[in-house]
Structure 1
Amino acid sequence: MTEPKPLIRANEPGGRSIDDPSDDAVHDLLADMNLSHRVVIVRRLDREPVDEHYMQVYLNDDFSYHVEYREGGEDRHFQAEVPWQGDVIGPRPVAAVISDWMHEREGWREALPWVPWPSDRNRPTVSDQVPAVGTELRTTRLVLQRPTAADIDAILAIHSDPAACLHNPSDAIGCRGEAEELYGRWDAQWESCGYGYWAVRRVGSGTLLGFCGIKPMELNGREILNLFYRLAPSAWGQGFAAEAATAVAAWATRNVPELPLIARVRPANTASRRVALRAGLARAEHLDGPGIDGHDLIFAANLSG
């Protein structure tokens, strides 16, 4: 007996493809999105032409969602912006709309603020926004700049905060002199390498949220770039760390492509694990091993050979 043809196909470009996905499968595809894998497309295969009946979700830099649907010609093409509502809610509102659309249930058209799709719309990627050279990086919400001596007090405040250094107590400092020494090491790396740790601020604000950057080091006898991100606890839970780490990872991939990018994460630090994944790194279990503060889980990008 010939198997029936699927009616719906969900896929990530270059990744998974699921025919007639369940509601849970759609939710999981959206939950697995990160800033290196931004797009999920759900197509109807029972309507002609197939390529003009779909829903597509794009993950923005700030982890909000850009959702579009099309039902035929250009006059039936719409879009909506859905803000990020935190890890607890995650993609559920968008997944619910797609599920209702798949099953032709009522209410999905009213669930989001749809507006017509401009015919000339082009969407930039993170790599389009990160300059190839220079010391300043920008994302939708953040500006990353080379630290200066004026940032020493912020270095002390963050690195003396027990919560900020909970999983890496060896990074903790206790006085301004230690902060000055740490800044001196960061500045020396900038002088010798042309890159290092960036100070992270909100666009349009002088408030420093934390630090994120890369440092050359060795792991298991191999030269790598270590991805670092540490923000003040007051800046947690808003996607800033992942947004900054993604900008830095994109810069490293474009400008230091010969070195693998590594993030070392303590097993209990689930938030840091999410940041590494959203920045486009993947688990590299074969590199796990002891670190200064205990066992390190390794996440990696550009890992070959």
Structure 2
Amino acid sequence: MTQVFERMTTERLLLRAVRDSDVEAVFVLHGDPETNRYSASGPMRSLDAARTQLGVWLDDWARTGIGYWVVERREEPGVAVGFGGLRHKVLDGQQVLNLAYRFAPNAWGSGYATELARAALELAREHLPQTPVVAVIHPENEASIRVATRLGMRLDRIIDYEGVPSRLYVPA
């Protein structure tokens, strides 16, 4: 399974499994207050926190053969503009695939989140159809809500996610 999800190319993006050397990119993106405006924990505060987060993602890949990708533009390989994709998560006692996407502000408005999410949903439908896909979105994150809606996802319910009432989207 890992090879199916490990590396993918879309029309404009290169999507690849995270690796140890991505720690600085994790910190830069997740330490930016703008990219974390809707995150319950706020911006990442240290390189050690980035190492810890990256360790969780690397463990996802090692255990399940699926996890979040580093997102690079095809015309600019090696430069991370975002992170996202699918990772296994237990939500309300149910095993799900959490769809996430987070991009640097200079990549906002480009349609990259939709392109990444569409690729992730197609892989999930084809290779993991038995596992539900969800997107947990802060109710004020209108851009992420638009991406989920554009993908044909619908609001299922409001859940408590890390202490924040959040919108749970599922494929329609």
TM-score by length of 2: 0.92
Which position in structure 1 is the counterpart of 2:76? 205
**Match for residue 239 of structure 1 among 96, 102, 111:** 111
Match of 1:175 among 22, 46, 51: 46
Structure 1: give runs of 5+ residues left out of the alignment.
Answer: 1-131
TM superposition shift of 1:169: 3.4
In 2, are the aligned partners of 1:246 and 1:278 still within 8 Å (CA)?
Answer: no
Residues 157 and 293 from structure 1, CA distance in 2 versus in 1: closer, same or farther, beyond 3 angstroms? farther
In structure 2, the partner of 1:298 is 168
CA contact under 8 A between 2:61 and 2:67: conserved in structure 1? yes
Bigger Cα Rg: 1
Residue deviations 1:10-34 (CA, integer Å, cap 9, x gap): xxxxxxxxxxxxxxxxxxxxxxxxx
Name the CA shift for 1:278/1:211 in 2 (closer, same or farther; >3 Å). same
Equivalent residue for 2:151, pick from 270, 279, 283: 279
Q: Does 1:185 align with 2:53?
A: no
Conserved? CA contact 1:170–1:293, under 8 Å: no
Structure 2 residue matching 1:300: 3-state secondary structure: strand
One-letter amino acid matched to 1:199 = V
Deviations 1:60-81 (A, max 9, x none): xxxxxxxxxxxxxxxxxxxxxx
For the residues of structure 2 that align with 1:290 and 1:134, how far apart are their CA atoms?
A: 29
Aligned to 2:121: 249
RMSD: 1.6
Query: What residue in structure 1 maps to residue 29 of structure 2?
Result: 158
Name the counterpart of 1:264: 136
Separation in structure 1 between the aligned mates of residue 100 and residue 18 of structure 2, nearest angstrom: 14
Q: Is the 8 A contact 1:147 1:197 kept in 2?
A: yes
Deviation at residue 293 of structure 1 after TM alignment: 4.6
Q: Report the alpha carbon displacement of residue 221 of structure 1 after superposing the two structures with TM.
A: 2.1
Q: What does residue range 35-184 of structure 1 map to in structure 2 within 5 Å?
A: 133-170=4-41, 172-184=43-55
In the aligned structure 1, how far is the partner of 2:152 from the partner of 2:24?
A: 31
User: Paired residue for 1:117?
Assistant: none
CA displacement 1:159-208 (0-9 Å, x = unmatched): 11011010113163111111111111111110110010000011131221
Contact 2:40 2:162 (8 Å CA) reproduced: no
Shift of 1:240: 0.7
Shift of 1:138: 1.4
Match of 1:66 in 2: none
